Chains A and B, each alone.
Chain A
Amino acid sequence: GDSVTQMEGPVTLSEEAFLTINCTYTATGYPSLFWYVQYPGEGLQLLLKATKADDKGSNKGFEATYRKETTSFHLEKGSVQVSDSAVYFCALSQTGANSKLTFGKGITLSVRP
């Protein structure tokens, strides 16, 4: 079945540092890929998505590129802020009518001033 693997955490960075969070997936066909963010005490918010190979999703300074050849969707940000501290989840869904989301375990990012 489909699966998503995220790098082990937690990750602690200083403000303005460069961020990379690795995500790889196993799936048949051409799934859509997502990054969701969960701030403390809140539900999940969609951060960005990509629906086909070589697409780049971007939002709030975060970027991720759909790499079919390496089955990856790594999340990057050039300069993190304290307000970026949260849990980040990589997820996929198969194309079709409202298919389920399959999530990775998530990684906690802490940004210190």
Chain B
Amino acid sequence: DAGVTQSPTHLIKTRGQQVTLRCSPKSGHDTVSWYQQALGQGPQFIFQYYEEEERQRGNFPDRFSGHQYPNYSSELNVNALLLGDSALYLCASSRLASGGAFTDTQYFGPGTRLTVL
């Protein structure tokens, strides 16, 4: 049973460029959340996707956008990169339990290390 996978592992970009990060959720999971982890800090929630729609969003600018495909995989796009966007980007997947009222455990991928020069 494959866990959460992310690609690429590492990425180097320059200021002003755009980047796309990809995530495949754990088998049987339908919800994907993205987090940004700056060096020495805890992960910060960016947004969450379910049924191809953004359901929740953290305190991140519109430069951060996402997408979820019918197979539940997801992309995180960041436009007009800033030096401060350098971080480890984590994808987490979970499954919306029946009735939609229970928060299931989130399982994390290994992350994509983005460096902006």
Binding site for B on A (CB under 8 A): 4, 32, 34, 36, 42-46, 49, 89, 91, 93-106
Contact = CB atoms under 8 A, between A and B. Distances in A.
Contacts of B55: 97-98
Contacts of A44: 43, 90, 92, 108
Interface stretch (B12-20, B62-70, B76-84, B96-104): B96-104
A104 B44 CA distance: 10
Contacts of A101: 33, 35, 43, 45, 92, 106
Contacts of B101: 95-97
Interface of B: 4, 31, 33, 35, 40-45, 48, 50, 55-56, 58, 90, 92, 94, 96, 100-111
25 contacts: A4-B42, A34-B105, A36-B108, A44-B43, A44-B90, A46-B106, A89-B42, A95-B101, A95-B102, A95-B103, A97-B96, A98-B33, A98-B48, A98-B55, A98-B96, A98-B103, A98-B104, A100-B45, A101-B45, A101-B106, A103-B42, A105-B40, A105-B41, A106-B40, A106-B42
Report which residue of A32, A46, A99, A100 has the largest number of chain B beta carbons within 10 angstroms of its beta carbon. A100
